[in-house]
Chain A
Amino acid sequence: MALVAAERPGVAGRLVAALKDAALAALLALGLAVPILALRIDQDINNQPVLRARWDDVALAVALVFAARLAWLLLRPALAGSAAKARPASTGAGHLAARAFALAGAVGLVLYPLIMLALVGKSGAIKWIDNFGIQILIYVMLGWGLNIVVGLAGLLDLGYVAFYAVGAYSTALLVHNLGFGFWLCLPLAGIFAALWGILLGFPVLRLRGDYLAIVTLAFGEIIRLVLINWVPVTNGYAGISGIPKPTFFGLPFNASDEGFAATFGIEFTPLHRTIFLFYTILALAFLTNWVTLRLRRLPIGRAWEALREDEIACRSLGINTTSTKLTAFAIGAGFGGFAGSFFAARQGFISPESFTFMESAVVVAIVVLGGMGSQLGVAIAAIVMIGGTEILRELDWLKQVFGPDFEPTQYRMLLFGLAMVVVMIWKPRGLISTRQPSIFLRERRAVRADLVKEGHG
């Protein structure tokens, strides 16, 4: 909508201008909402399609847009003024604060199951540890794995879910065809995924930017379509079920005499397995983080970041861009494979439905919104985005406000997409956009976002 400039100074002039602008915004909202929101295609009792009008929803949407635009226009000057004052100088102190925050976060994650047990008791804790803790940690791990490719090496990979799928399917197939256990499958899945990373990485090395993104997307889709159609091996849409859960050094988590609970002489509860799974994925995620942080200081890690900053300069300095890109692809894919293997063992059932493009987009969103290259930012973004959308499942009280037909979970991806757009406009470099240099003269200074290049790859 055209921003009507406030020519007349003074409150009244600004108010009139803002009202005009908000009215235009509301008009636009009306135009957008009329076909798609106002009339819904439904079926009548004879299964014939009919239109059902919902003008009240349209009125509500238009009123909301009007109010939001008006509030934004009137409050923005005040907000902008206070934000400019509050901006801290980013120095070494910021670095220490970030480290302290990361450490506190790590301790919080380790204690999370115990806190939940204390807060909601045994029966409630399973849900909170499983749906929130494990689910979020899987995405944290995927985010950290992809961060190697996108954040460090600057190669935008929109098909990352393919490696997740390779890990999950190799676990499922190894379990069923060769009778391997989870702990043997886990490293193998990582290795397979890394091999696939190299295999798919090879042809795309020459591509950069958007083209690279689209080709990786195509590879991700090809792998998913093969999983769907190669029925003799993958069982197609029906998926593979009956993948055994991980065991505690050979002790299964069940009520039998050889089980975990019986061996340690404690009362059996399914909580043991959930907590064990939680610590498994936590350990895997920490492993990913640790490897990434260590790799950043090795020549290969420095080469990745140099590649992200300027590929041509890299080549001139004698860095082998082929092997540099391939290692980034392979290591990132390997961690995706670990996560996939864990996912298969946790669910006990996998199907191609779990590996759609949407999953790739979610992981890419987490990495980019968190701030490419920032481990802490990626973790925060995963917690906010995945936790935030999971929380929608808990909002049953909204049904009392909006009526029993209101289903908060269906707005999950809608809000997710919207959040991607809004965060990009608000902070294009992600939530944590400063970078810590891995090599420095005398004093470590954070590098501001506008001084960092985004890479061509």
Chain B
Amino acid sequence: MEYFLQQLINGLTLGSIYGLIAIGYTMVFGIIGMVNFAHGDVFMLSTFIALILLMALTQVAGLGSLAIALFLVLIAAMLLTSLWAWAIERLAYRPLRGSFRLAPLISAIGMSIFLSNLVQVTQGPRYKPAPQMLGDVIILRQGVDYSVAISYKQLLIMAVTAVLLAAFWYIVQNTAIGRAQRACEQDRRMAALLGVNVDATISLTFVMGAALAAVAGLMFMIYYGVVHFNDGFTPGVKAFTAAVLGGIGSLPGAVLGGLLIGLIETMWSAYFSIDYKDVATFSILAIVLVFLPSGLLGKPEVEKV
């Protein structure tokens, strides 16, 4: 029982990170119907940006307080990652809007290869260790030979995720920006006729997705304590799986899917086989797409003749 509870906590932490990345996939797919293949690598880039900024603040600038440093890193990483996402959308995707359907996907795959290799070339192929922080744990339940504990960083990850998701949900549901996004999602041409700046809205969608991916990137860096240029692909595919599982295009679906994927991965590693944990996720991706293409909370896709 203690073991299960511990895995539950670990799974939810991991799931929060996947959920944050999944929102970027689900929103972009919802608004322009494209799998933003480079999103996983934007996430990877943000882990590097976060680590570099953290080191610059603590080592070079000599900032003493970890809390302030982390807060500043969070804001700066969100801004810088958003800038990258904006530039990628502007340069690699926007010229292809209205082109044939596979073109944006191919361009996104090219961008994904470009980003991971850019980081490899500029930062080197080694694993980069991050400073250990927030490792202290709170014992929740003292078992006979196994106690359930939650570490500060797990608490931080879940809390930040919850707060940012709430803020984000508010933006999408209650502001003019969010209304424009939802309008574009329903009918882009009609939205344009009614005065919505469609290009700006799409750019903004990419920026918001990237900002949340940057949050996930910082959390990932804190949680695992190491970053690597190749760490974009697998979390990216898993987050995409989460988006698909929750129903692509649906924001609550992405979060739910993220949590489920995190739990499944953790439980699979804990009870079956750690070697095959990625096989489990990839299989879920295939199974969901084949048997339940609209996901748990998504709308069924209608085929127009």
Chain A: residues with CB nearer than 8 A to chain B?
1, 28, 31-32, 34-37, 39-42, 49-51, 156, 203-204, 206-207, 209-211, 213-215, 217-219, 221-222, 225-226, 228-229, 312, 357-358, 361, 364-365, 368, 410-411, 413-414, 416-421, 424-425, 428-429, 454
Contact = CB atoms under 8 A, between A and B. Distances in A.
B96 A424 contact: yes
Interface stretch (B5-13, B117-125, B180-188): B117-125
B52 A203 contact: no
B109 A365 contact: yes
A36 B103 contact: no
B142 interface: no
Contacts of B83: 28, 31-32
A226 B105 contact: no
Contacts, number: 168
B174 interface: no
A36 B35 contact: no
Given A36-B48, A207-B293, A229 B275 contact: yes
B192 interface: no
A375 to B, nearest CB: 19
A343 B278 CA distance: 27
B13 to A, nearest CB: 23
Contacts of B95: 425
A420 B55 contact: no
Interface residues of B, number: 65
Given A37-B122, A39-B52, A411-B121, A225 B279 contact: yes
27 contacts: A31-B83, A34-B80, A36-B45, A40-B124, A41-B51, A41-B123, A42-B124, A51-B56, A51-B59, A156-B105, A207-B289, A210-B105, A211-B293, A215-B286, A218-B283, A225-B276, A361-B113, A364-B109, A414-B121, A418-B110, A418-B114, A421-B92, A421-B107, A421-B114, A424-B92, A424-B103, A429-B100
Main secondary structure, interface of A, reads helix
Nearest to A50: B59
A211 B240 CA distance: 11
Contacts of A1: 90
B80 A35 contact: yes
Interface of B: 33-35, 45, 48-49, 51-53, 55-56, 59-60, 80, 83-84, 87, 90-92, 95-96, 99-103, 105-107, 109-115, 117-124, 128-131, 233, 237, 240, 244, 275-276, 278-279, 282-283, 285-286, 289-290, 293, 305
Contact of A211 (B91, B129, B275, B289): B289
Given A35-B49, A41-B128, A204-B290, A156 B102 contact: yes
Contacts of A211: 289, 293
A39 B49 CA distance: 10
Given A210-B105, A214-B285, A361-B109, A41 B87 contact: no
B122 A40 contact: yes
